[in-house]
Amino acid sequence: MSIKQRYLILSYFYAPVTSARAFRWASLAEYWAGQGHQVDVVCAWEPGLERQETRNGVNVYRVNADLQERIRSFYKRGNSAPSKIQSQQSDSRGGGRQIRSFLRWFFFKVYLPLQWPDGGFLWRSPALRQARDLVQKMPYDALISVSPHFTAHLVGLDLCRDLPHLHWLVDNGDPFWFRDIEPPNNQQLYRRLNRRAERNVFQRAKVITVTTRQTQAIYATHFPESASKLSVIPPLLSPLNREDSSEPFFPQDDKLRLVFAGQMYGAVRRPEFLLRLFSALLKTPLGARLELHFIGNVSLSSDAFQTYPELLDEKIFLHGSVSRSRAMQAMREAAVLVNVGNKTSYQLPSKVVEYASLGKPILNLAHILHDSSSEFFSAYPAALCLTDEDESGVPTEAHLHAVYQFISSPPPPIDAAWLRNWLQPYQLESISAAYQQLLFQVFSSNTTP
């Protein structure tokens, strides 16, 4: 659109915080700002970040709840307690430890299990205050709320109740009410409330975007009154993929490095199938040259790695979270990139597009038959997709043979022109155009939800 617009984005996560949706919307916001649009973002404050700044042309407002600030401040002071507590408690170090221990127990065992709708619940009130202040000063053309967390949509709902003229786009990074594996809250307590809240959000919104056709189909079935508002906009290929790193990630040697980049979880994505497969590969003639590297947070699946203590730091390496550019460098140097699919059919890991952009051999391990990653890689000529069909997590001889052949005789290089054309729908320009086309349709309509 040639007309300059004013966008207000509500997103709990925003760059430089490490989150797929944070990078997605930072890329879009900065791209729009570069086109001359005004883009303001209300997000959560994290220690070490500015409360307010203009970041690459985007006005960023970071807010947090007083309770969360006090808890952080209390832990940061170490063993010193707040003055009111000091007047009632012993000055001993043991007293301070007991108070902190109690607060930790209460917060994680009592407060968090009762939280609603998700981990961003404390952010709702300060975010709404900041958004209301901005809306009073600026007539925005569009409001965009981003999940996770769903709390951002509730802030948008509150705001639109006050100002029904706002054009509201709801962007769902992850489903909310029907997410049964690693749900956002206590499903026994809140499942009906979750469904009702999401239905209210959808009914008020002008446009709803999701990442996969599977998610769109589920929502259209359960919220048929909002089906016409649903659109699919796929994962974004980060502009960082075009950056060059001057420093190698791995030593220059003859090792064959399998690299997984991303996050492991407690239920939805776990490494057992991959670890067992790799352990079996070590017994093949390739074993002496093989290494398996994990780039990203795998702490939620740490129990799986403890099964292989003799391989850790010898054959299996856990690098933890690294910068995005360093992660990309590790992926460039890999002999094979490894993707582990989700145990849900409706979620697509955003990193699959980054993997494909490198044109390297990709091993995709699926937990379920209708794996969204397997569907994505079905058109990619250098991918091997295997499924743990009986969900045992134990690779078969056929699995082992297929992977051995894939590593020892890798597929030929992918034609660069073909790859660029195939990835076009995931480029920043294409993703931006998809969102702006939806917004343009809203701007051109005088109907209300």
User: Which residues neighbour 251 within 8 Å (Cβ) at sequence distance 6 or greater?
Assistant: none
pLDDT for residue 232? 97
- Do 224 and 244 lie in a common domain? no
- Do 292 and 369 lie in a common domain? yes
- Total domains in the fold of the chain: 2
Q: Does residue 169 lie within any of the structural domains? A: yes
Q: Does residue 278 lie within any of the structural domains? A: yes
Helix (H) or strand (E) holding 337: strand 336-340
Q: Does residue 318 lie within any of the structural domains? A: yes
Instruction: Please tell me the distance from the alpha carbon of residue 149 to that of residue 136, in angstroms, as a whole number.
Output: 25
Q: Does residue 188 lie within any of the structural domains? A: yes
- Do 220 and 254 lie in a common domain? no
The enclosing domain of 132 has a CATH number of 3.40.50.2000
pLDDT for residue 76? 45
Q: Does residue 154 lie within any of the structural domains? A: yes
Instruction: Please tell me the distance from the alpha carbon of residue 296 to that of residue 262, in angstroms, as a whole number.
Output: 5
- Do 55 and 164 lie in a common domain? yes
pLDDT for residue 83? 36
- Name which of 378, 360, 364, 359 is nearest 418 in CA terms: 359
- Do 222 and 249 lie in a common domain? no
Segments of the chain with pLDDT less than 70? 1-2, 67-96, 107-108, 239-246, 446-449
Could you report the per-residue pLDDT of 155-194, keeping only the tens digit for each? 999 999 988 889 999 999 889 999 988 899 999 999 999 9
User: Which residues neighbour 358 within 8 Å (Cβ) at sequence distance 6 or greater?
Assistant: 241, 331, 332, 337
- Name the region of 57 (left: φ>0; alpha: ψ -120 to 50; beta: rest): left
142-147 and 58-63: which strand pairing? unpaired
Q: Does residue 262 lie within any of the structural domains? A: yes
pLDDT for residue 68? 62
Q: What 8-state DSSP symbol labels residue 98? A: H
pLDDT for residue 445? 73
- Do 264 and 197 lie in a common domain? no
Structural domain of 10: 6-65+118-237+428-443
User: Which residues neighbour 190 within 8 Å (Cβ) at sequence distance 6 or greater?
Assistant: 116, 117
336-340 and 256-261: which strand pairing? parallel
Can you say how many angstroms the Cα of residue 440 is from the centroid of all Cα atoms in its chain?
Answer: 27
- Do 122 and 202 lie in a common domain? yes
- Do 287 and 385 lie in a common domain? yes
- Do 314 and 391 lie in a common domain? yes
